[in-house]
Structure 1
């Protein structure tokens, strides 16, 4: 059933209507405000809507017998997905952004100040400015649908809610829960929203509109009281303790890189300590200041790049529809790929392995993830069963004749992968695409001897597949445009961010990661401690340090690509001598609980990873930290930045945009820096060249700045023109 109120003309009187907001009145004088932004898939709030909403509210107030208002969306699965970010990007001064926030606050105050009851009927995304509008209403009803999510994700853009959200949310649900929502940017589902008091009722979508109407008919209802704990938290002593703890925890996570988190805490504290008037003033001022920060500019750059990428299929061709998928290999990668195919893309997937054990392992992988969702209330049992039924297994090629796409996830062995292509071509249909999940082997080599090389492509996932958002799509010279477009489209259905990269050794992500990891290992061999190296890079902004990352990937797996890269690109990829002792000692990282760190053994109820001091004896080094954190981080990151420019100039990545998206989503390059290319532009190519040249004098030719970087430095060119 559509959310748009189905009221016949005989039952309503229609006012003059602005473009995005339509006002109707029912026979018993309830105003229905329908939000439907023209020519857009979802509703987003724009600056020009302030006047439209205010005009509409004035019209409603002139109705002589107005009983109340209901706000509802005319879109199928979206209430309001947030504000239009481009209007924020157009602000050139903090004062302009502050004025924008004040306009938003004003219109929300107009809604909240109406004497008649105002109800928000929410189905679909209710985020950012959409939730702020809902908070300004006197009541909120939402649908039980999985598409319904409520949240204030502004922190993810380096901002804070600027239309009253920082003030209304804490008073509605209590400061602890409100701060958690705003500082994490996480979304809340319907039942959770009801439990925390964010909404007043949850109902099936089919009766959402009628329930909202009935809510208005009941008139104003008593406001929900905060729990005892929330009331204590907003008392003098409770506030002092709450904000002390929240600040401490937030600083430990943000490490000072995200000013929005500090501003959110400040503004909420101001509102609770000095009153709403001061709180709103502080909110608008902080919003204006944050819009001008380089962190917000970088995060908004990632947002715009991700949005643009969704419209780019990597080739001028119409994607084919994928109905059935097969995965070769039931290991960790194969199980992960099968999982996101069934649970995200909602496509049936058949796993082929050489034995039943591999198939069982893949089934268990998905079962365990779905059980976790079930326990958290994010999934119904019937939906769990439906998704599991999409996954089947086989030890032969039965069923492959009906498959549109085969994803190979076997060992990194060229002959084995070529054998897989021949077997698939013998058992699948002539239209079946063969995608290889390889991390290093050139796709054109894998496609050698294929009967249909135009349907062979690389599809490189990152582990763990269910968590890592990026995939690299790698066509070779003979891959058809339709195969490229179809593969990109399919990856997006799996919930992935897909970038198309060139068919060269290591592709893009592993190629920029390898010199960074090598340099971290060299620092270790020079005597820098494990924790100092990792802390330096985490404090720089990476989610984990390079040595921990190598443990997570698997030392045996992570080091396999180095010889491939050295063979293709020369000495700048050579691994440091002496590191092979770690592999020879049987250290694989987290998977066997021994790497650069020691990990709790399976079955242990508690325990954290700790740096393994025996590593130093193994490498014949005495740990003594000589480099500062900044110097150590600059040394490792400089090589990554230099290699990223190499990749851009030799066509491994198509654009600075793709290079930044790949680094941020693939290896966790600090989002607040916007990616390697935006960071180079902010730093200045000339500054980076001088840094690399200084390091080259100290450490050798691997730090030689690439030609493209030197040219840009000489000409004052930016990577984003």
Structure 2
């Protein structure tokens, strides 16, 4: 099924929010005067002297009178601000402060590609209550304040990810030098976990940045690269790398960064460091910013944007606005307290717990749980150069794969090549790639209409039209030319893999790889194994998907697999509600208020009513009235016959006109007339809550049934698939996390209630019934 409707959502969830800047407000943005934020008094630690030779998470050495502290977290590829790290850092820092031989300090990382990736999430999760979260924040603030108030200059030498708590460490230092490479980036992504920066980050960003820049950084959680950070004033200097790729070059780069930082620390010891005084223009701007009218205008605009994009369902952005507003109105003493209290409040919310659960789940699905295949995939052929085929080629050619893109006509190939090249040209324009890298990447792509080269392929990914006979025909033709070890993967969203492989002479080498559109932006890859698919074939497909940068779930075979199956069961209730008199706008308003990014009525127009009709017909053959009564496939087919295909034809449930967006679209009068032919008497008043629970319960029940039938192997895979593939509200954590939070027994009671009114399609699956009786949860 076409999944492009979720693109905006997934991208928005990854960077979260994006604030608009009005022309009037832009003229008023100003850097806050450095005197507007005062630090909390330094607290003295009672830690005893530490034996520097016994350190497990830090490395300490010296160059002349400068101490170099290197973060080097034990048994980890990256550094985090874990309890073990901080238990060493705090006393070491105090010892260096009291050592008269040490005149300055450089902090850097011993791990390539990672300065400090953030706070240790496990430490946050271990907090038993709000008071413990409050203590974590206040302790973090105290440590950062001690760094900032150090009487000895502290220089941060940054190479690699500098995020969250790591960024807060860097901000507290007196000088920041960054390596200008692809891996070095700065940001405060706490909002993606339903939190805010809790170690003084909100205060220091407000101090160093203009208000719109501070809001944009904290509310989106986005990462900025070294040059951008320098232009924003977050970094004082950047150094250019000697050369990419080679280990020796990387070591030289780090050594060069270290020398520059040591030299800067020496310079700072020789002169008294005083903050730069604001000039006349800055003072004027500061006066403007200090007026309540301007501040209120800025925050009102930001809050409108937040509410528009989140429906008020995420507590974190609203709390961040409140903390920054208190800081500007009442000063840093109030601001620091508001930050700590806000961190504790947010860490106690179900929304934060759900987002943290997704974070863990996503990381789990980015790892290879299946092992290495017997033979590494190096050469890939993609059959079909349409939107999906070109997208699959796009995410493969920059990962070291040699890709053969094949189609029946040069015109089709030209469109596919244009899509790919245009995407990479965008990377060059945004300076993610150099022109030389662009040329090297496109050199990995070979477009052709002939079958030559298939005999060298390790994997063929078929991306032709969603038609069973066509896919079987392509498989039969391909199997005549590919080598015995070559894997055949079908990019299908609903057709059972065992049916595609029904006539294959080697069904163990056939697998499903369901990509989501557009492939270069959507993270999820649903890999479908049939009963005859070999374990090695699964391992190969997973390895390819992970190398392409995908979040991978492996699911069982069957109509609709997992994601499309859930979508169709919830969608069938949407059409039932429409038949009972609900309007498309009623449906959209209710489902968006529940947290879906796209209204469930608009969804069908975006996917294509013809696509939905095709899938509904096939799935109804298998699931019968449990999916929907016969009127739903008939209704969809009637819409297709009247050319109400959705956005692609300019009309569907809505009328699509240039310049008319979202809620301003007109409900299609043709649809309104046609739906009357399928009208049903409503059992009760159709309210927003009624719409939400009826569509939601169908979604939840089918997710549980997929787990019961082993279509999915774990609640984690189910939640990741639903959120990253279907746009299930992230703040609810996915269907399984939501049922745990709401209560499985309550969900079962609701289903039984709706079953008594609407029939057996609401009958809870046996797994839920058993769990409710035993008071069990999906996650322990």
For the aligned pair, the TM-score class normalised by the smaller chain equals over 0.9
User: Is 1:279 paired with 2:335?
Assistant: yes
The answer (yes or no) to whether the contact 1:50–1:104 under 8 Å persists in 2 is no
**Residue 719 of structure 1, CA deviation:** 2.3
Q: Which residue of structure 1 lines up, in the alignment, with residue 653 of structure 2?
A: 596
User: Is 1:23 paired with 2:54?
Assistant: no
The answer (yes or no) to whether the contact 1:23–1:32 under 8 Å persists in 2 is yes
Q: Which residue of structure 2 lines up, in the alignment, with residue 214 of structure 1?
A: 263
Larger CA deviation: 391-400 vs 709-718: 709-718
Larger CA deviation: 224-233 vs 610-619: 224-233
Superposed CA deviations along residues 248-285 of structure 1, whole A, max 9, x for unmatched, are 21122221211111111111222222222221122112
Q: Which residue of structure 1 lines up, in the alignment, with residue 741 of structure 2?
A: 682
The alignment's TM-score, normalised by the length of structure 2, stands at 0.86
**Residue 608 of structure 1, CA deviation:** 2.3
3-state secondary structure, aligned to 1:150: strand
3-state secondary structure, aligned to 2:748: helix
The answer (yes or no) to whether the contact 1:233–1:242 under 8 Å persists in 2 is no
3-state secondary structure, aligned to 2:405: strand
Q: Which residue of structure 2 lines up, in the alignment, with residue 297 of structure 1?
A: 353
User: In 2, Cα distance between the equivalents of 1:718 and 1:544?
Assistant: 29
3-state secondary structure, aligned to 1:428: coil
Larger CA deviation: 534-543 vs 615-624: 615-624
**Residue 165 of structure 1, CA deviation:** 0.5
Distance 1:238-1:397 versus aligned 2 partners, 3 A rule? same
Q: Which residue of structure 2 lines up, in the alignment, with residue 581 of structure 1?
A: 638
User: Is 1:551 paired with 2:600?
Assistant: no
The answer (yes or no) to whether the contact 2:748–2:772 under 8 Å persists in 1 is yes
User: Is 1:454 paired with 2:508?
Assistant: yes
**Residue 419 of structure 1, CA deviation:** 2.5
Higher relative contact order (CA 8 A, sep 6+): 2
3-state secondary structure, aligned to 1:48: helix
Distance 1:630-1:639 versus aligned 2 partners, 3 A rule? same
The answer (yes or no) to whether the contact 2:610–2:636 under 8 Å persists in 1 is no
Superposed CA deviations along residues 348-381 of structure 1, whole A, max 9, x for unmatched, are 3210000111111111111222233333333333
Distance 1:527-1:271 versus aligned 2 partners, 3 A rule? same
Q: Which residue of structure 2 lines up, in the alignment, with residue 420 of structure 1?
A: 474
Larger CA deviation: 407-416 vs 368-377: 368-377
3-state secondary structure, aligned to 2:635: coil
Counterpart mapping for 1:271-420 below 5 A: 271-313=327-369, 315=370, 318=373, 320-343=375-398, 345-420=399-474
The answer (yes or no) to whether the contact 1:319–1:489 under 8 Å persists in 2 is no
The answer (yes or no) to whether the contact 1:88–1:97 under 8 Å persists in 2 is yes
**Residue 213 of structure 1, CA deviation:** 2.7
The alignment's TM-score, normalised by the length of structure 1, stands at 0.93
Q: Which residue of structure 1 lines up, in the alignment, with residue 666 of structure 2?
A: 611
Counterpart mapping for 1:119-268 below 5 A: 119-205=155-241, 206=253, 207-219=256-268, 220=273, 222-223=275-276, 231=286, 232-233=288-289, 235-268=291-324
Q: Which residue of structure 2 lines up, in the alignment, with residue 86 of structure 1?
A: 122
**Residue 317 of structure 1, CA deviation:** 5.6
User: In 2, Cα distance between the equivalents of 1:360 and 1:146?
Assistant: 31
Larger CA deviation: 230-239 vs 428-437: 230-239
Distance 1:233-1:387 versus aligned 2 partners, 3 A rule? farther
Matched pairs, number: 701
User: In 2, Cα distance between the equivalents of 1:53 and 1:106?
Assistant: 13
Distance 1:496-1:233 versus aligned 2 partners, 3 A rule? farther
User: In 2, Cα distance between the equivalents of 1:85 and 1:293?
Assistant: 15
Q: Which residue of structure 2 lines up, in the alignment, with residue 3 of structure 1?
A: none
**Residue 194 of structure 1, CA deviation:** 1.7
User: In 1, Cα distance between the equivalents of 2:335 and 2:54?
Assistant: 34
User: Is 1:692 paired with 2:741?
Assistant: no
User: In 2, Cα distance between the equivalents of 1:74 and 1:283?
Assistant: 31
Distance 1:420-1:404 versus aligned 2 partners, 3 A rule? same
The answer (yes or no) to whether the contact 2:366–2:550 under 8 Å persists in 1 is no
The answer (yes or no) to whether the contact 1:316–1:481 under 8 Å persists in 2 is no
The answer (yes or no) to whether the contact 1:333–1:409 under 8 Å persists in 2 is yes
**Residue 499 of structure 1, CA deviation:** 0.6
3-state secondary structure, aligned to 2:105: strand
User: Is 1:668 paired with 2:727?
Assistant: yes
3-state secondary structure, aligned to 2:505: coil
Larger CA deviation: 576-585 vs 441-450: 576-585
The answer (yes or no) to whether the contact 2:698–2:762 under 8 Å persists in 1 is yes
Larger CA deviation: 198-207 vs 494-503: 198-207
Q: Which residue of structure 2 lines up, in the alignment, with residue 8 of structure 1?
A: none
User: In 2, Cα distance between the equivalents of 1:129 and 1:690?
Assistant: 43
**Residue 15 of structure 1, CA deviation:** 5.3
> RMSD in angstroms over aligned alpha carbons?
2.3
Q: Which runs of 5+ in 2 are unaligned?
A: 1-50, 242-252
3-state secondary structure, aligned to 1:565: helix
User: In 1, Cα distance between the equivalents of 2:525 and 2:235?
Assistant: 37
**Residue 233 of structure 1, CA deviation:** 4.0
User: In 2, Cα distance between the equivalents of 1:598 and 1:385?
Assistant: 43
User: In 1, Cα distance between the equivalents of 2:660 and 2:274?
Assistant: 50
Distance 1:690-1:319 versus aligned 2 partners, 3 A rule? farther
Counterpart mapping for 1:428-439 below 5 A: 428-439=482-493
The answer (yes or no) to whether the contact 2:155–2:174 under 8 Å persists in 1 is yes
Q: Which residue of structure 2 lines up, in the alignment, with residue 96 of structure 1?
A: 132
User: In 1, Cα distance between the equivalents of 2:158 and 2:73?
Assistant: 16
Superposed CA deviations along residues 620-668 of structure 1, whole A, max 9, x for unmatched, are 3899995221221111111011111111101111111111111111101
**Residue 567 of structure 1, CA deviation:** 1.4
User: In 1, Cα distance between the equivalents of 2:406 and 2:363?
Assistant: 35
**Residue 307 of structure 1, CA deviation:** 2.2
User: In 1, Cα distance between the equivalents of 2:55 and 2:291?
Assistant: 44
Q: Which residue of structure 1 lines up, in the alignment, with residue 38 of structure 2?
A: none
**Residue 295 of structure 1, CA deviation:** 0.8
3-state secondary structure, aligned to 1:611: coil
